[in-house]
Structure 1
C-alpha cells in the first residue's frame, strides 16, 4: 500500500512538472508570433519573418524576439555565463531604460560582423531580445542607422 501511495505521488509530481514545461513551450510559441514594434527603412531592409530583417547594402541583420523570461532572470543568467563568443558589456541606460548588452564578433561567409544582443524588460515575465549584426568595417552612417533601430525598439515596446 505504501508503494502504491508513493507511486501516485511521483506520478502526480511528474504530471505537474510536465504541464508546466508544456505551458512554457506554448508561451514561447505564442510570443514568437508577437510582432516587435520597430522603425525600419523598408527600402533598405527586407522582412524575412515577423521579426527578422536583412539588408544586402549594408550587409546587416536585425532580429527581435519576445522571450518568456524575466529581465532579472536573464540578467542573472548572463552574469553567470554569457552566450558563446559574446562578452557581457553590462547594464546600460538607453532612452532612460535599463538595457542588458552583450557584444562580440562572428565570421559568416568570410566576413567579420559586429554582433550585439540587447535585452529589454517588458513585464514581470517577459523581455525582448534584439540582435543586430553589421560588418565590423561598416561606415559610421550604417552604424548610426542601426542605433536608431535599437532606439526605436526600446521606445515603442
Structure 2
C-alpha cells in the first residue's frame, strides 16, 4: 500500500509540473487517458493505475505518461532546468534507432535505494512520452535487462 501511495504521489507531481498552462490543462487530461503501449510481464508487475506498474520482487516501478509538450521543447526545458536532488539530465541518446532524452539518478524511497531513469520519447509534434523506471540498486543483471526490454518496447510500440 505504501508503494501505491508513493507511485500516485510521483504521478501527481509529474502531471502537476506540466499542468501550469490553462490551455494545456484540457489536453493534459485527454492525454492522461491515452494508453502507453508497454510489453510488461503480468507475472512480475501489477498494474496499479493506468500506465503504472509496480513490483515487489524486484522492487520496481514503471510509469508511462503522454505529456502535452513537444520533444524539442522538453529538450530545451531539461537542458535549462537546475539539477534536482539525485537526478541529472544526461542528454540525448539513441535507443532502438530512436533519439530519446534521458534523465538519470539514484534516489531513496521508503529506505530503499533506486536507480531512477526518465526517458522522453518523441511522438506527435506537440506530444512526447515520459517513461519513468525505478529499480532497486540491488537488482541483478536479469532484472536490469527486463527493465531495458520494457523501455525498448515502449519505443518500438509508440
Normalised to the residue count of structure 2, the TM-score between the two structures is: 0.84
- Structure-2 separation of matches of 1:118 and 1:22: 25
Residue 84 (structure 1) shift: 1.8
Q: CA deviation at 1:90?
A: 0.9
Counterpart residue number, 1:76: 76
Distance 1:51 1:82 in 2: 28
In 1, Cα distance between the equivalents of 2:82 and 2:55?
27
Structure 1 vs Structure 2 CA RMSD: 1.0
CA distance in structure 2 between the aligned counterparts of 1:50 and 1:32, rounded to whole angstroms: 8
CA offsets per residue over residues 35-76 of structure 1, 9 Å max, x none? Answer: 000000001100011100000100100000000000000000
Q: How many positions carry a matched residue from both structures?
A: 137
Distance 1:31 1:93 in 2: 25
DSSP 3-state at the match of 1:123: coil
- For residues 142 and 31 of structure 1, the distance between their equivalents in structure 2, rounded to whole angstroms, comes to 30
Offset of 1:82 from its aligned partner? 5.0
Pairs within 5 Å for 1:51-90: 51-81=51-81, 84-85=84-85, 86-90=87-91
Unpaired stretches in structure 1, ≥5 consecutive residues: 1-20
Distance 1:83 1:61, change over 3 A: farther
User: Unpaired runs of 5+ in structure 2?
Assistant: 1-20
How far does residue 22 in structure 1 lie from its aligned partner after superposition?
3.7
User: 1:123: how far off?
Assistant: 1.1
1:27 alignment counterpart: 27
Alpha-carbon offset, residue 117 of structure 1: 0.2
User: If the length of structure 1 is used for normalisation, what is the TM-score?
Assistant: 0.85
Paired residues of 1:75 and 1:100 also in contact (CA < 8 A): yes
Structure of greater Rg: 1
Q: What SS does structure 2 have at the residue aligned with 1:39?
A: coil
Moved over 6 A (4+): none
**1:4 — aligned with what?**
none
**What is the distance in 1 between the residues matched to 2:111 and 2:49?**
25
**Alpha-carbon distance between aligned partners in 2 of 1:82 and 1:141, rounded to the nearest angstrom:** 33
